[in-house]
Amino acid sequence: MTSKINCPLCGNEAVQMRDGSDVYLINCSSCGDFQITRECLEDLPAERKLLPQLMKVSAFTRYRTINKEPVATLFIGNPNGYTEGYTIQQIVDQFPSVPERKLKALQNLQALSKYWGDAVAIERKDYSVLFPEVNEEQPSLMMMRTLVEEGLVAGEVKFPTHLTVTEKGHSLLRDQATPVAPEALTPAPQAPVIEEPTPVAAQPSKLDGMHPRVLGVAQKLFQDGHYRSAVLDTYVALDNDVRRKSRLLHDGTELMQKAFTINNKKGTNERATVLKVAGGDDPQQGAMWLFSGAVMGVRNVLAHDHSIHPSEQEALEQLYFASMLFRRLDQAVNVDAEQLMGQISQLRFSLTGSASSSDSAKLKALLVPARGFVDAELHRLSFRKILEIIRSGYFNDQNAGINLLLEWHAPFFDHINNDDHINLICAIYKAAGSSHPSRDAETLIRERFMPIKMSLKLFQDHLLSSNEVCNELLEKIWWSDAFFRCIAHSGDLEFMVAFLNKVISKEIVLGRNDLDTLSRELNRAGREGLEELTDKIYEMNKELNK
């Protein structure tokens, strides 16, 4: 019997097939094919701690479907030796690391390719192909960008898009080592271990070191010997990027001259420059002629004369020139964005807890136009102003800042650095720890930072890097007792296992009060999968307090 249902993993429309047994076959365009027991299907909505993790399960089942592996059967409890049976918790706990996910995403794209050089259509329903941890656009874009910047895939980093596995990507997959099985943290009894391939280093390319935009457009074409197309497509992309950053509607030589001009607006003393280059008139005019010359001397020549076919060396030189122009474009500033940056930088917030709405409204009024620009510095400044509000000592301000963050993080997170991500997580933990905590900070922590999971991951990796770093972060958070309470109850299992093992091995040394708080909160939480480590922390604390 066949019926349409909402997929239990992603919520999208799916087809369910039943044969009278207690195991149902589900076909979902996002999650692929998988089987699920009636018990799992009925109990899953009540498993609140698992619901935010279901994208990991979706990525697992979609991968098996795409790569023609046996259909997995999903259980809540023990599979009892069921062939290809996995518990939801097991799949979540064994979710691959970032390097492994990168390789799996590449394998998915190769398997989806109908032929060599096929451009695979990727829509928002295909997040699972890119192995994100959560059902959000940002981590999927991050994986897409990583694959493009490393030259493994060609295509535009956006949704929807078309992605093509490059020769470098095919070579990496050909050369990969035999898959090996990693240790599972808490595998289901008698359940098969999920095997992960070991990533290997890619071979160097003649295009290594070029701007990521050049690699994304030209890598595959160049490696396949299509030098003319590699160069022409790159210079067309340059034209498109100048148009996007300048927000002008022209193209070609006219676009470059208007974007980088040093002339004044007609009848005024005001400069007509749209994209400003640092250093004054000479660099500005030089940029105008460099970009104009690139269009006239390369793009237009190849576009209008199909008899011209650059050699490999000629193509390489022209691509390096384009790479330099892309970097110049990165450094150029849209003058309207610069004016907006000036307005944002001059904002002053009261941060007294009584004017949170007006502080938030002032910033939001400038974030609206800021989103329309692609200037990295503008986006970094916008983020740091939001962070300034979150860092207030008053919960009303903190709530207002977090609401701004959740509304506006997507356009800005592409341009902030690791320190920004780490400082953000510290500020949120601090906001949740005072005598009058921010309710929105507490909610974000309980939900394991789902909209900004990437920031949390960078914070966790940094904290685990050394005892010194851990102590520095605890000082930033200030309320260490609240931090240990939060992670004991809401920290993700993978991080908690790594952190507690480092505490037990004394790679991370906690003070008496911190260890006591951690032990007490772990016992209160009673987390499944942490029982043994909780006991060890308890004994360690008991010994310290003798």
Angle (deg, nearest 10), helices 137-149 and 395-412:
40
Burial class (CB in 10 A: 0-12, 13-18, 19+), 365: exposed
> Is 431 within 8 Å of 390 (Cβ atoms)?
yes
Per the model's pLDDT, the better-predicted residue between 169 and 120 turns out to be 120
Query: pLDDT tier at 184 (50, 70, 90 boundaries)?
Result: very low
Q: What pLDDT does residue 175 have?
A: 73
Residue 205 pLDDT > 80: no
Q: For residue 404, what pLDDT is reported?
A: 93
Q: Determine the angle formed by the axes of helices 493-504 and 480-490, rounding to 10 degrees.
A: 130
Helix, strand, or coil (residue 88): helix
**181 has a pLDDT exceeding 60:** no
Residues 6+ apart with CB under 8 A from 92: 50, 53, 56, 57, 493
Among 10-24, 372-386, 387-401, which stretch is predicted with the lowest mean pLDDT? 10-24
Rg (CA), the chain: 27
Two tokens at 453? 């999971």
- pLDDT for 192 equals 53
Per-residue tokens: 230: 């590699």
CA torsion sign, 173 to 176 to 180 to 183? negative
Q: What is the mean pLDDT of the chain?
A: 88
Phi, psi values for residue 150, rounded to 5°: -85, 0
pLDDT at 513: 93
At 202 the pLDDT is 47
The tens digit of pLDDT for each residue in 20-33 reads 677 889 999 999 99
Measured distance CA(97)–CA(172) in Å, rounded: 18
CA quadruple 232, 142, 67, 159: dihedral sign:
negative
For the segment 2-10, the average pLDDT, to the nearest whole number, is 88
pLDDT at 538 over 90: yes
The continuous run of DSSP H or E covering 74 comes out as strand 73-75
Task: List the single range of 72-86, 417-431, 455-469 with lowest mean pLDDT.
Answer: 72-86
The C-alpha torsion from 380 through 382 and 384 to 385, rounded to 10°, is 160
User: What is residue 207's predicted lDDT score, i.e. its pLDDT?
Assistant: 87
Q: Is the pTM of this model over 0.75?
A: no
pLDDT at residue 216 tops 80? yes
**What is Dmax (Cα atoms) for the chain?**
86
**H helices present in 371-412, as ranges:** 376-390, 395-412
| Protein fold of 98-175 | Arc Repressor Mutant, subunit A (1.10.10)
What pLDDT, on a 0 to 100 scale, did the predictor assign at position 24?
Answer: 87
Judged against a pLDDT cut of 90, whether residue 185 lies above it is answered with no
Instruction: Express each pLDDT in 124-172 by its tens digit.
Output: 999 999 999 888 888 899 899 989 888 899 988 898 999 999 888 888 8
The pLDDT value recorded for residue 110 is 92
**pLDDT tens readout for residues 429-475:** 999 998 899 999 999 999 999 889 889 999 999 999 999 999 999 99
pLDDT at 387 over 90: yes
**Any bridge partners for residue 201, and if so which?**
none
* pLDDT tens per residue across span 25-69: 999 999 999 999 888 888 777 666 677 789 999 999 999 999 988
Question: What SS3 string covers 458-517?
Answer: HHHHHHCCCHHHHHHHHHHHCCHHHHHHHHHHHCCHHHHHHHHHHHHCCCCCCCHHHHHH
pLDDT at 48: 60
Asked if the peptide bond before residue 70 counts as cis, ω within 30 degrees of 0, the response is no
Q: Domain-by-domain residue ranges, the chain?
A: 2-93, 98-175, 226-331
